[in-house]
Structure 1
Amino acid sequence: MNWNKDNRTPTSGAVDAVRLGDVRKTYGRGENRVDALRGVTMSFPRGSFTAVMGPSGSGKSTFLHCAAGLDVPSSGSVMLDGKELSGMNENQLTILRRERVGFIFQAFNLMPALTVEQNVGLPFRLAGRRPDRSSVIEVLGRVGLAERRKHLPSELSGGQQQRVAIARALIMRPAVIFADEPTGALDTQTTIDVLQLLRETVSSGGQTIIMVTHDPVAASAAHRVLFLADGQFIGELEAPTADVVAERMTHLTAWQQNRSPQSAGRGGF
């Protein structure tokens, strides 16, 4: 898929929506110690669409959880929408995630007994507020599902359910949307449709999207791709194509498999 990059948001001089500074995350102790993140420093400008890729065990999920305030780094700093997360308690983090962060997952995570309209309005209820029906209908129109608002999730296709999940992520007008394998359960054409919707969300709504994926086609929809291995970011591509991403991932997987314990922490890709 050859995506049109004309509307790409420049990264130079932009204000960061998310910034990680020397973030480390360690699980266990002694022989059971696992260094999931090894001093990650990275910024994500506002209005940008970034894909994060890496082999299994590279630290992608840990990175996403720390960047989104779902997990606490062992050391280092995380800035999200101008807020330093390390100084926040759990209640403050919950409010920040609810009001300034959207999440999209592979499994949709829709409530089966609620209609499309009710699922999209759920973040309002979790915040103790009455759903703004006009906003719900407006965002459903953006994802092409306004006429399906009274349907249950079981009455929708997989692609339509993911569009509902995207609408739910957008409803509170978050600064950042974290997407974890958002097209992993979709067929090729539906994947392309959903990715186009995510790109439009960035270009028209100004949101920042950080997407973890294993799919080179999905990654090629982003403005840039960051490659993670052994708990470190070790390379990136601007205006990526699926073929180049796939080739880079092949080399990266081999590099991580052949990497010796003595070389940990030195990077190079």
Structure 2
Amino acid sequence: MNGTPSPQGYDAPDRHAVVRLDDVHKVYGGSKNRVAALDGVSIGLPRGSFTAVMGPSGSGKSTFLHCAAGLDRPSSGSVHLDGVDLAPLNEKELTKLRRERIGFIFQAFNLLPALTVVDNVTLPLRLAGRRPRKAEVDEVIERVGLASRRGNRPGELSGGQQQRVAIARALITKPAVVFGDEPTGALDTYTAREVLTLLREAVQWGGQTIVMVTHDPVAASHADRVLFLADGKIVSALAAPTADQVAERMTHLGAWGDTSAAETPTHRREARR
């Protein structure tokens, strides 16, 4: 598993994976400034798993997340999410799928400042035309430890509490998968650990599927598996990782990334962020 990947990737993508990428390429630019942000990625992510995605700057990890979540369309290859092939969907259908089957957690929280905790958490349901059920809302807010802060607005909460609201908002629709883009990047070490424990519990006790892009080896160590990207390819993976193992692997990838960067234009690296 930790050796050189086969052309098919680390997993033979199967129909049981909640997220599946088959030979996905993502190319930016024209013939003179062509940038291959993803270069033939094939992977299956099992339901009820926690996957971290790491790599040097410019490795393609953000592009991987955007394509897997239907935020960006691959240039070729296919993406299936919860059994749905994303390729034939128009933008309206993609928006509906993301609203109903995907949760998102961002570094910047992205809460609406004028809304209370309850209103921020239930916003995805209301946007989908669904009436929030009080028992379900109470449950998810209690799970993230904010039962006493239901009526507070984001400006009255700490950064860690705001991220807890964002997690509750991501979980309220009971999505097939939650995508996190550096969800602990703006938090201190102690608060980040609390947030990661919440995500781990969502997988362990709630059967949630989480895919998280991160640069932090400690954050990655909470995952079941870490995928390492370099030059748009999955080049390595670790199961049941420790922070030290992740840091060591990243050190080698960082050296690879620096070598690669010296041989390629700056715009190539920037396009893969």
TM superposition score normalised by structure 1: 0.90
Which segment is superposed worse, 250-259 or 185-194?
250-259
Do the aligned partners of 2:15 and 2:83 also contact (CA within 8 Å) in 1? no
* Paired residues of 1:121 and 1:132 also in contact (CA < 8 A): no
Residue 75 (structure 1) aligned with residue 76 (structure 2): yes
Counterpart in the other structure of 2:52: 51
Asked if 1:41 is matched to 2:34, the reply is no
CA deviation string 1:109-153 (max 9, x = no partner): 000000000000100111123332222111001111111100011
Deviations 1:154-191 (A, max 9, x none): 11111110000000000000010000000000111111
Give the AA of the match of 1:43.
G
* CA deviation after TM superposition for structure 1 residue 15, in Å: 2.3
Whether 1:195 and 2:193 are equivalent positions in the alignment is: no
User: Which residue number in structure 2 is paired with residue 126 of structure 1?
Assistant: 127
Q: Deviations over 1:185-221 (max 9, x none)?
A: 0111111111110000001111110000000000000
Residues in 1 aligned to 2:54 and 2:213: alpha-carbon distance in whole angstroms: 6
TM-score by length of 2: 0.89
Query: Quick one: distance in 1 between partners of 2:152 and 2:138?
Result: 13
Find the aligned partners of 2:257 and 2:151 in 1 and give their Cα distance: 48
Query: Percent of aligned positions with the same letter in both sequences?
Result: 70
- 1:110-149 pair list within 5 angstroms: 110-149=111-150
Matched, 1:207 2:235: no
Answer yes or no: is the 8 Å Cα contact 1:122–1:131 preserved in 2.
no
Contact 1:103 1:178 in 2 (8 A): yes
Shift of 1:256: 2.0
- Deviant stretches of 4+, over 4 Å: 11-14
CA distance in 2, matches of 1:100, 1:124: 12
1:37 and 1:62 in contact (8 A); partners too: yes
Instruction: Identify the residue that residue 243 of structure 1 maps to in structure 2.
Output: 244
Q: Is the 8 A contact 2:50 2:211 kept in 1?
A: yes
Q: List gaps (5 residues or longer) in structure 2.
A: 1-10, 265-273
Distance in 1 (CA, whole Å) between partners of 2:107 and 2:134 is 26
Name the counterpart of 1:224. Answer: 225
Q: Secondary structure at the match of 1:32?
A: coil
- Superposition map of 1:83-102 within 5 A: 83-102=84-103
Matches within 5 A, 1:164-179: 164-179=165-180
The letter for the 1-side match of 2:258 is Q
CA distance in 2, matches of 1:14, 1:199: 24
The count of corresponding residues between Structure 1 and Structure 2 is 251
Q: Given that residues 19 and 46 in structure 2 are in contact (C-alpha distance below 8 angstroms), is that contact kept between their aligned partners in structure 1?
A: yes
State the distance in 1 between where 2:28 and 2:166 align: 31
**Superposed CA offset, 1:55-91 (max 9, x none):** 1111111110000001110000101001010111111
Q: Specify the SS of the correspondent of 2:205.
A: helix
Give the Cα–Cα distance (whole angstroms) in 1 for the partners of residues 211 and 34 of structure 2: 28
Q: Which residue of 2 aligns with 1:109?
A: 110
Deviation at 1:14, TM superposition (A): 9.1
Secondary structure of the equivalent of 1:42? strand
**Distance (Å, rounded) in 2 between the aligned partners of 1:188 and 1:138:** 27
Take 1:122 and 1:134, find their aligned partners in 2: how far apart are those partners? 16
